[in-house]
Structure 1
Amino acid sequence: MSALFICRDVVFKTEKGIAVMRSPVESLFPGICIHVSAISAWSAVLNYEERFKQKGSLSRLFCSVNMLNENDYKLSEGERAIIFAGNMESVIQSADVKNIKQVTLVFIPVIQEKHFYCVCFNLKDYKIEVLDNSATNVSFEAKYQQWPEKLRDAFSSYLESASHPAASILRETVPIRLEMPWRTTRNVIDCGVFLMRHMETYKGTSLKKWECGLSKECNNAGEISYKQRKELDELRYKYAAKIILSDVNQVRPFAEADVARYKKLSEDQRKRLDAVAYDTILARLDSN
């Protein structure tokens, strides 16, 4: 990923109308907080890849970040249910899901106080699990301020309208926070990367069987492990490439042409662009 990109061009667009500019995708550059639009593009990519899953494997549905916005959590339960239902219908249409009853896991990414995490609804085993890389030692109630519960109620209302058998059970289900061994206490930049990884790899299994592929934040001596840092940076590059090069991306040829132009630059020109990439991308994000 280079600073060659021009910030206002659309580099990701689906047939169903999801469009993402260059600068949000460039926010996957290491050291930068990931833009919400990059997460929505990732959800679209994962939904597309679900079409090619192995026969008989569980079905997953990935939502966008704005199923409920921050101000929506201050509304009444009925108002939230209406907003959520409209957004869920858009997701289902975009993902080409014929019936929500065919889906086992529903992933809803959330951004709360600039921090990303995911609420995973298991419609088969009737579980609600919060997938969050943050391991800060505060209570569930203090950390999430009833957001998962309000999201649960809105989703349950939607399921009721769809006559889903899990609706009434999920409404009474208490969300739990999974305590993955790769959770962090010091990393405040990569919550979006963790979110994307959790959405990509979680299949509703036990923690022991969850093959996430991330190392612990600290070694046995309690010192920061640079292994996890390297893994996260590599995932940023991988996810940027997967978003741009996905077959669901209708403007993929234009992005590939940009990459080809970058490769034709001299080594000195590429080094100069790479040296200022971080600052250039931040400036572009600020301007947007």
Structure 2
Amino acid sequence: MIVTDWSEIIITHFLKHFVFVRDTVFRTERGVLVMRSPLESLLPGMELHILVISAWADLLNYEEKFRQKGSITRLFCSVNMLNEEDYNKSAKTRSKTFAENMEPVLISADVKKIPDKSLVFVPVLHADHFYCVCFNLRDMKVEVLDNSAKDVSMKDKYNERPEKLRDALSVYLENIGHPVGGVIGQVEPVRLEMPWRTKHNVIDCGVFLMRHMETYKGVDGNGWECGFSNECTDAGEITYKHRKEIDDLRHKYIVKMLLSDADTYKSFVESDVAKYKKLSAGEKKRLHAATFDAIKERLDN
């Protein structure tokens, strides 16, 4: 999709005073419902709302229908297939919760079961940080995709969440008679090394996660082109190029979600755009100037 005027779309759909902030603006046919306010968190400088990630998974599942012939099949789960309290419960309880949460994922993806030899992406939100656990059922790998370059052990960083997700998935696959059922449970999770990992960026982990889910197809970090440059100069200063790449990606994702054919509210969005175009130049300028502060205040509340 080529976006020729994303700024106008952004202005239209993230203004406090133009339309109701509780309007629903995105939902795939079988996916989660997202109102205007959570989607506003995709604007630069905002911490991403958890619903945006789950909606993004729905959109990527929709796009899988049009994947290149011969490419690996991918399935995208919603955030936190296990809730925070589930990690402290028994393995049996975790497996039950995981299985229950997998059903709406399959419905969203319009598939009856997890495809053989596929990649299964499970986004995680823990301690205000987003990352993803990717289960490679083709090559028998469990990989953590995380933009944070914090130099700590896997156990200290993730508190065995990848292992517990792996075990829950393994039991689920075994129960449904999947070819790798029980086998994936023996695979040790590893943290994938990526050249663009960050030391200082604590705001954009959700955007990194979205990009990782969108582009990762099972190759190692050196052979995976994600489109991010290094975060800092040799002197340790965050580069303008790095900042611009992330902000541009936020804009791109807003437009992509709102104008996707998968969005059942696309016609509402287009109607809203038409209303905005009829405003005077002075009114557009006034609304644009007040946008960021108004949205930040609303999201903070």
> TM-score, structure 1 length as denominator?
0.95
Give the SS at the match of 2:203.
Answer: coil
- Look up the match of 1:49: 63
Q: CA deviation at 1:171?
A: 0.6
Q: Are 1:231 and 2:245 an aligned pair?
A: yes
Deviations 1:238-274 (Å, cap 9, x if unpaired)? 1111111111111111112122222332333222222
Count of matched residue positions in the alignment of Structure 1 and Structure 2: 287
The answer on whether the counterparts of 1:25 and 1:240 sit within 8 Å (CA) in structure 2 is yes
Give the SS at the match of 2:131.
Answer: strand
Q: CA deviation at 1:22?
A: 0.5
> TM-score, structure 2 length as denominator?
0.91
Q: CA deviation at 1:176?
A: 0.6
- Correspondence 1:108-257 to 2 at 5 A: 108-257=122-271
Deviations 1:32-66 (Å, cap 9, x if unpaired)? 00101111111111110100011111100011103
Determine the C-alpha separation between the residues in 1 that align with 2:278 and 2:233: 42
Runs of 4+ in 1 over 4 A off after TM superposition: none
The answer on whether the counterparts of 1:61 and 1:103 sit within 8 Å (CA) in structure 2 is no
- Look up the match of 1:72: 86
Determine the C-alpha separation between the residues in 1 that align with 2:152 and 2:30: 40
Q: CA deviation at 1:164?
A: 1.6
Q: Are 1:285 and 2:290 an aligned pair?
A: no
Q: CA deviation at 1:286?
A: 4.0
Determine the C-alpha separation between the residues in 1 that align with 2:109 and 2:89: 28
- Correspondence 1:96-111 to 2 at 5 A: 96-102=110-116, 104-111=118-125
The answer on whether the counterparts of 1:31 and 1:189 sit within 8 Å (CA) in structure 2 is yes
Long gaps (5+) in structure 1: none
> What's the Cα RMSD here?
1.4
The answer on whether the counterparts of 1:7 and 1:284 sit within 8 Å (CA) in structure 2 is no
Q: Are 1:63 and 2:87 an aligned pair?
A: no
Determine the C-alpha separation between the residues in 2 that align with 1:8 and 1:267: 26
Q: Are 1:20 and 2:42 an aligned pair?
A: no
The answer on whether the counterparts of 2:76 and 2:122 sit within 8 Å (CA) in structure 1 is yes
Identity of aligned residues (%): 60
Determine the C-alpha separation between the residues in 2 that align with 1:91 and 1:117: 18
